[in-house]
Amino acid sequence: MSHARRSQPQASADTASSLAILEGRLGYQLEPALLVRALTHRSYAYENGGLPTNERLEFLGDSVLGLVVTDTLYRANPDLPEGQLAKLRAAVVQARTLAEVARGLGLGAFVRLGRGEEGTGGRNKASILADTLEAVIGAVYLDQGLDAADELVHRLFDPVIERSSNLGAGLDWKTSLQELSAAESLGVPEYVITEDGPDHEKTFTAAARVGGETYGTGTGRSKKEAEQQAAENAWRSIRAAIDGATGGETGA
């Protein structure tokens, strides 16, 4: 799927090597200046004389991602009404999910950040990772076309799309856990939050408790991110217990 690299002047050896690593993970070789722009956060651009930022590419990539995900959900779920399809799409393209995919690519290591964002843990911020991933998708679309962008989105997001189909509400794990615990008469989920680290780089840990029992924990850079991860782990734990009990009854 990869195209031969076009000639491009004046990229440093370190920059070219770094871009090559990312391109290997993406599966595409892109016009270097375009890829560099996709990785340029506004904080870096402002600190370096007003360089072009990745925000226009982010805008484009958001639409490309939305199109591919919407098309996939539409074709895979012929009986779902529009409202449920919209919820499933929201579960796939929300910033937290995009950030998880970006972390899987190690994208944070390649983002060009200003000193302020660098000093406050910007490389692991969900919003920055999500925006950068959208910008990279936009760059692939511009440089390689829609077929390539479609292939990349499917490769990165098909596991997320499959996972989202397990969500009871099709929107977020906290809602799904609440629905599941209510259906099983387990009680209302509660979240116990602890935090660690300095103010500018806190890590939050959440424990999802249902009926006084902890079913899952999660960590994140925000309380919301930690709670969502804890809810997902709790949902999976309870679901596995239910499925195991059902399987046992069936096999009896």
pLDDT digits (tens, 9 = 90+) for 6-26: 433 444 556 778 889 999 999
Sign, Cα dihedral of 84, 86, 88, 91: negative
Low-confidence ranges of the chain (pLDDT < 70): 1-14, 165-171, 246-252
What is the pLDDT, as a whole number, of residue 77? Answer: 86
Cα dist from 163 to 8, 61, 81, 208, 244, whole Å? 40, 22, 19, 20, 19
Which pLDDT score, from 0 to 100, does residue 8 have? 39
> For residue 233, which amino acid is it?
N
**Entry field: residues in the chain:** 252
Q: pLDDT at position 246, please?
A: 65
The pLDDT, as a whole number, for residue 31 is 95
Q: What is the pLDDT of residue 166?
A: 62
Distance, in Å, from the CA atom of 174 to the CA atom of 216, rounded to the nearest integer, reads 12
Task: Look at residue 169 in the predicted model and tell me its pLDDT.
Answer: 46
Which two three-digit tokens encode residue 87? 């919820």
Which domains does the chain carry? 13-169 (1.10.1520.10), 173-247 (3.30.160.20)
Cα 73 to the center of its chain, rounded Å: 17
Q: Which residues are annotated binding-site positions for Mg(2+)?
A: 58, 131, 134
What residues act catalytically? 62, 134
Q: Write the DSSP string, the chain.
A: -PPPPPP-SS--HHHHHHHHHHHHHHT----HHHHHHHTB-HHHHHHTTS---SHHHHHHHHHHHHHHHHHHHHHH-TT--HHHHHHHHHHHHSHHHHHHHHHHHTGGGG-B--HHHHHTTGGG-HHHHHHHHHHHHHHHHHHH-HHHHHHHHHHHHHHHHHHHTT-SSSS-HHHHHHHHHHHTT----EEEEEEES-GGG-EEEEEEEETTEEEEEEEESSHHHHHHHHHHHHHHHHHHHHHHHHHHHHH-
Rounded CA-CA distance 35/89 in Å is: 27
**Which position has the token pair 């690593």?**
21
Q: Which of 169, 162, 112 is nearest to 136 (CA)?
A: 112
C-alpha separations of 160 from 43, 153, 182, 222 in Å: 30, 11, 25, 21
Residues belonging to the binding site are 58, 131, 134
Please list, in sequence order, all residues whose beta carbon lies within 8 angstroms of the beta carbon of residue 132, skipping any fewer than 6 positions away.
38, 39, 41, 54, 58, 102, 107, 111
How much is the pLDDT for 12?
A: 55
Residue 8's CB is within 10 A of a number of other CB atoms, namely 14
Other Cβ atoms less than 10 A from the Cβ of 184: the count is 14
pLDDT at 4: 38
